[in-house]
Amino acid sequence: MSLVVVGCNHRSTPLGLLERMTVAPDDLPKALHDLATAEHLSESVLLSTCNRIEVYAYAERFHGGYADVRELLARHSGLPPETVADELYAHHDADAVRHLFTVAAGLDSVVVGEHEVLGQVRDAWQAARTEGTVGAVLEPLFRRAVETGKRARTDTGISRGIASLSHAAVALAAKRLGGLSGRRVLVLGAGEVAAGTLKSLADAGPADIAVASRTPERAVAAARLCGGRAVALDELDSALMGADVAITTTGATEIVLEHSNIDDVMTRRSGAELLIIDVAVPRDVAPAAGELPGVTLLDMDDLGDFVEHQRAGRHEEVDSVRAIVDDEVERYLAEASAREVAPLIAALRARADVLSTSELERHGSRLADLSPAQRAVVESLLRGVVNKLLHEPTVRLKDAAGHARGDRLAEALRDLFDL
């Protein structure tokens, strides 16, 4: 059996392909069911965010597990399996553990140290628990990953400054417009990213914040976060007419603002420029809208370029988090190995008990003349010798658990005693 992670992210895959492979929340139960019924997978967790789609699985064989995940992503995206395969990365066993802990710690995100990804890892784990696709391997793995993410943010300053996609989007808008004070902002969406965007906007001092969502009640609740106002979707064109910047954050699976919508709005704006920052994956805004006169359309790729400079100035924090990840990976692997050797040790002792009982029964006629007390002494002597013989191998196996030597000893024990 092998622990594997197969996926793609903002670094490995162009945005146009990444958004096709993204699994929407409503589609997550079916995707997990498909993984649960795959030939080579025993457990699975699916992590799908605005900049990554990854499947963590406990697989019968690495290559079989990889093929099962590739086929799922191909079916979901409607892309040929060979096209999907070209975009995927894969890690197994210790490297898979390290990758997950690195993701949870915020080191593999567009915004280094972002706090949103930790919640996304936790949500993916909880969704898999709800669907019954996690067990004895992935349950402790994801619990430790969440603990690692919390420790990274508590023990270091990795989350200081721009620490979320939503915060980065607002900072990018402010940079492009020379500040947001007195500006009019439209936020499209009312989910988690929208909430983070609105909280960041509240500190930026815009003159007006409008929030639009398919669900009016959610728009009203979101607008309260920043003292803004809710607008209905049928008022969206009017809201765009009066906005200096629009930040789109919905979880829609199709384009929300078509080229024709933006074209009509820009015609009526009489030359007033409009900045649109689309942080949704899949995208909310038709890419062709960025070619319209007066429109500046920025997406996740632009946002990634904007925050890349953070890495240069945060080497110490990044190094500190990597040290935490290294420590947590080592601890997890040692504990996992200890969990694996416990059944082996139990099987060895059970085999010894069976042999001891068998030998006592085989020599039963010769022991028939012994008194109960004498027989008890013989049985105690036999089991004492067996326990002393097993003591040293058991101690050495436990001490070596989590290291290559422990794996070799465990394999030798299985072969020697046919366990």
Catalytic residues: 50
Q: Is 352 exposed, middle or buried (0-12, 13-18, 19+ CB in 10 A)?
A: middle
Tokens (6 digits) for 164: 């979320």
Residue that the structure tokens 């903002």 belong to: 10
Burial class of residue 23, CB neighbours in 10 A (0-12, 13-18, 19+): buried
Contact 341, 406 (CB under 8 A): yes
Query: Are β-strands 229-231 and 245-248 bridged in parallel, bridged antiparallel, or unpaired?
Result: unpaired
Long-range contacts of 388-397 (CB under 8 A, 24+ apart): 390/348, 390/349, 390/352, 393/348, 394/345, 394/348, 394/349, 397/341, 397/344, 397/345
Instruction: Please give the Cα distance from 268 to 380 (Å, whole number).
Output: 96
Alpha carbon separation from 277 to 43, 158, 164, 262, 300 (Å, rounded): 38, 25, 15, 13, 8
Name the H helices within 37-105.
62-77, 81-87, 94-104
Residue 89 tokens, joined: 């990365």
Burial class (CB in 10 A: 0-12, 13-18, 19+), 26: exposed
Encoding tokens for residue 295? 């429109």
Alpha helices in 233-287, H assignment, sequence order: 236-241, 259-268
Strand order in the sheet with 89-92: 41-49, 52-59, 2-9, 89-92
